[in-house]
Amino acid sequence: MSKPPLPARNLKPATIAVHEGTLRSQFGETAEAMFLTQGYVYDSMEQAEARFTGADPGFQYSRFSNPTVDMFERRMAALEGAEAARATATGMAAVTASMLSFVSAGEHIVAAKALFGSCRYIVEDLAPRFGITSTLVDGCNLDAWQKAVQPNTRAFFLETPTNPTLDILDITAIAEIAHAAGAKLIVDNVFATPIFQKPLALGADVVCYSATKHIDGQGRTLGGIVLGSEEYVTGPLQMFLRQTGPSLSPFNAWVMLKSLETLALRVERQAATAARVADFLGDHPKVQRVIYPFRDDHPQVALARRQMTAGSTLVTFDVKGGKEEAFRFGGALGIVKITNNLGDAKTLITHPATTTHQRLSADARAELGISDAMLRLSLGLEDADDLIEDLSIALDAI
Ligand SMILES: *Cc1c(COP(=O)(O)O)cnc(C)c1O
């Protein structure tokens, strides 16, 4: 395997996403090869020994590393501006490993309350079972982060924009509080995508993704990735992943690699459609309110514009009324599909109160601003006029 040379210039994300990390075999294939192999054979006992001591840097076993997975990790690291990355079987494996790889019993995590449901479970329920305490805070309130700090605080965890209310958390300010406390800031960057927000450049220490979302982008494979410093990734993270085994399949890594080639193209188009749809919904008499980070009526629009280069591919809105009206609207959609997923080529709609956030009490939902009339729309790659017509017909059906 060899690494085809790239010009030593500052390449832009769309170029990186097509070329970086490519390894080419002796056959000179144009497209990245898929190495569906569990293991690797050695020329000699001596070479096997050298692989295990680390003196020879080749591959040993696909639970630890694999050429196709390696290409995906290198391409993602280049895109994110991270020193190193490790891929995982799912986004949840990435989030879990990002914390449990270096936080121990007796230590403490602070996280924003508004988290993807399973991430909240890790922080609120799983970590405490192993002696890691946690505090959940209102992520938009910087004082709350500061007040939650304890002498044993080891990690801060947040997502921004948040699911489903699209709140914007100030990564730079929260990173400063974390660092003053001697803690690492981990950012789940799924909603922003690697194209629209660069948490490491804003001061975060670790970034994780569910690659299941925009990175695959076509609803096929599950995957995840954790990115950060060489020291963190090749130290505690690599040890945790290697020994516990949530490895990404080389097949899925290959799908993700090919998807990265179109990531910038896809999310830029999806965000442009999202902005248009947000304005359509904002003007509609059957809509109570619309939430879109780049709209002037978003409470943190200035921060969103500072921190992100587009307002995301999602739009959240409340129809006038409650659950009944939201369900009637959903039932009248033709092109837009009802599901709990996001970041697909197909436009998807979710009713958070009865699906993704059903596990929370009504009070906890109210505290997060999730009403029974709320819908989360993930914009796909269909024609924007067709989508607006579909939404318009369904709004008229309420
Ligand atoms: C989907 C998602 C996850 C979990 O990813 P999986 O690939 O489903 O395991 C974590 N965080 C956010 C913000 C997500 O949207």
| Mutate-to-test residue for ligand 1 from 88, 92, 99, 221, highest number of ligand atoms within 8 A of CB | 92
Residue 210 alpha carbon to ligand 1 centre in Å: 5
Give the DSSP H or E segment for 47: helix 45-53
Is the Cα torsion angle 41, 45, 46, 49 positive or negative in sign? positive
Same fold, 13-260 and 264-396: no
Q: CB of 92 closer than 6 A to ligand 1?
A: yes
Q: Domain 13-260 adopts which CATH fold?
A: Aspartate Aminotransferase; domain 2 (3.40.640)
Q: Are strands 337-338 and 153-159 parallel, antiparallel or unpaired?
A: unpaired
CATH superfamily of 264-396: Aspartate Aminotransferase, domain 1 (3.90.1150.10)
Residue 396 alpha carbon to ligand 1 centre in Å: 33
Kindly give the number of the ligand 1 atom that is closest to the alpha carbon of 92.
9
Kindly give the number of the ligand 1 atom that is closest to the alpha carbon of 191.
13
Beta strands in 160-204 (DSSP E): 184-188
Query: What pLDDT tens digit does each residue of the chain (398 aa) get?
Result: 888 888 888 999 999 999 999 999 999 999 999 999 999 999 999 999 999 999 998 999 999 999 999 999 999 999 999 999 999 999 999 999 999 999 999 999 999 999 998 999 999 999 999 999 999 999 999 999 999 999 999 999 999 999 999 999 999 999 999 999 999 999 999 999 999 999 999 999 999 999 999 999 999 999 999 999 999 999 999 999 999 999 999 999 999 999 999 999 999 999 999 999 999 999 999 999 999 999 999 999 999 999 999 999 999 999 999 999 999 999 999 999 999 999 999 999 999 999 999 988 999 999 999 999 999 999 999 999 999 999 999 999 99
Nearest residue by C-alpha to atom 1 in ligand 1? 210
Q: CB of 352 closer than 6 A to ligand 1?
A: no
Residue 189 alpha carbon to ligand 1 centre in Å: 10
Check: CB of residue 274 under 8 Å from CB of residue 314: yes
The Cα diameter of the chain in Å comes to 75
Q: CB of 222 closer than 6 A to ligand 1?
A: yes
Q: Structural domain boundaries of the chain? A: 13-260, 264-396
Q: Which residue is it, tokens 């696909």?
A: 62
Helix-helix angle 323-331:384-396, to 10 degrees: 130
Kindly give the number of the ligand 1 atom that is closest to the alpha carbon of 213.
1
155 alpha-carbon distance from chain centroid: 18
CA-derived radius of gyration, the chain:
22
Centre a 10 Å sphere on the Cβ of residue 182 and count the other Cβ atoms it contains: 11
